[in-house]
A = this chain, B = another copy of it.
Amino acid sequence: MAAGSGMIIKCLLLFLSFSFSLNLFFLYLSFGRPSDRLTWTRTAALEAEAVASLSCSGHGRAFLDGIGSSQGKPTCECYACYGGSDCSQLLPDCLLDADSGSLLLFETYWKQKAESSAVVVSGWHRMSYEMTGTSLMSVELERVIRQLHSTVGNANAKRKFILFGDGSSQLLNAAVHALSHNSSSPASVVAAVPYYALFKDQTLLFKSENYEWKGDASHWNNVSGSSGKFIEFVTSPNNPDGNLRRRPLLQGPSTKAIYDYAYYWPHFTAIPTMVDDDIMLFSMSKLTGHAGSRLGWALIKDEEVYHRMASYTETNTLGFSHESQLRALKLLKVVLQGGGRDMFQFGYTTLSDRWRKLSTSLSLSTRFSLQKISAQYCNYLQRIREPSPAYAWLKCEMDADCERVLRAAGIMGRPGKEFGASSRYIRLSLIKTQDDFDLLLQRINALVDQEGVKSIF
């Protein structure tokens, strides 16, 4: 009996010591782990994870500031042509938005990088007008941007001034403003057709005495020498047609160029050379896909031009969102891991695949044609790469109003006229979500199939 008791006591002591050790272990897990020391960020983190975990059937997503969020119930926001509270319903008769230039295909990429790309903004984060010291710009962001250009080799950022903008949009007119300074007569602002509409709209907006919009650069090719100062916007690769435009049409001593390099990144184009121009514009919008951050930058050679542009942005909007700068820094640090290959490869693979599918479909058509883009050697990828443009620049070979034809087929594009071109052209966005592209391809296929049916009868 006593021996039995002894054995029981021994067993119990063994259990107890095991249980006690477990107590200590759990005590450490509960209160001792560094990862459990979260205090004031926990609520925000929980909120973000709760919203992200909302199921939207793969055809949408919920955001922290979605409609209903004030009542603690953010709802799904569906991709184009999907509806229902969980985005599960395909809306077959809806007009598909292929107009937007939002690079939504990268949503998938950033979801894969959820952990490394998230950022917590504290209530007291950088409340001043100034960002770093007396500067309106983040010194760290500037550093990371320079590093990215150097890594990708697309633009020479060395010995350049960097100026941020509320999107590169703000920098378009900032550059025109700076270059038209002290002209005896208004400078003529031009761009070769087809051109991005904002060049025209912004130049016209302010009705400035210093500059005026003069349309298609090719009209002024032979007369520019005798007609005062010209400022030419050069977009490369070009929006809408994706062609590399390395030089302005207008040359001469009184001609200046503003280079819009928003699309000069390896997901959209081969990088055949490291560009090194006087004013070069870039944007988060077309680099990481964050159009909503409204953050662009200019690389500027000349100090006086830089100061005039900086003075323009400061008087216009008194600086650049500190929240956007903080987030851009985080995102670009993620991009730089592995020299950007991860993101650029993701974008290139997706876009070249889309281009191939669309080209194949339209190769059967006589009614529609696509712009020509060649495979080209890319210094960044160090190999020949297939085309992967942001947009299809579609031509209706038989219809004068291409917009009408596509609209009837359920596709809303951006009409050629907005680019100074004929209404036989239309721009179709290839950079939105996979759902958007799948539906676009399906409707284009249906249009091409109609041709086949018509040609049979």
* A contact residues vs B (CB 8 Å cutoff): 1-2, 5-6, 8-9, 12-13, 15-16, 19-20, 22-23, 26-27, 29-30, 34-49, 52, 61, 63-70, 100-104, 106-107, 110-111, 113-132, 138-141, 143-144, 165-167, 169-170, 173, 177, 198, 201-202, 205-210, 285, 289-295, 312, 315-327, 329-331, 333-334
Contact = CB atoms under 8 A, between A and B. Distances in A.
B5 A6 contact: yes
Contacts of A100: 128-130
Contacts of A2: 1-2, 5
12 contacts: A12-B12, A22-B23, A26-B26, A40-B118, A65-B325, A110-B124, A118-B123, A130-B292, A198-B315, A202-B316, A292-B322, A321-B324
A123 B127 contact: no
Contacts of A198: 315, 318
Given A42-B45, A292-B323, 15 more contacts: A38-B38, A41-B49, A48-B119, A63-B126, A65-B141, A65-B329, A100-B129, A111-B124, A123-B330, A166-B294, A206-B208, A208-B208, A294-B321, A294-B322, A295-B321
A98 to B, nearest CB: 14
A138 B167 CA distance: 18
A324 B326 contact: no
Contacts of A318: 167, 169, 198, 294
A132 to B, nearest CB: 7
A30 B41 contact: no
Contact of A9 (B8, B29, B113, B169): B8
Contact of A132 (B52, B67, B143): B67
Contacts of A285: 129
Indicate how many identical chains form the complex.
2
Contact of A45 (B63, B64, B120): B120
B49 A38 contact: yes
A431 to B, nearest CB: 11
A117 B125 CA distance: 10
A181 to B, nearest CB: 10
A102 B118 contact: no
Contacts of A334: 123
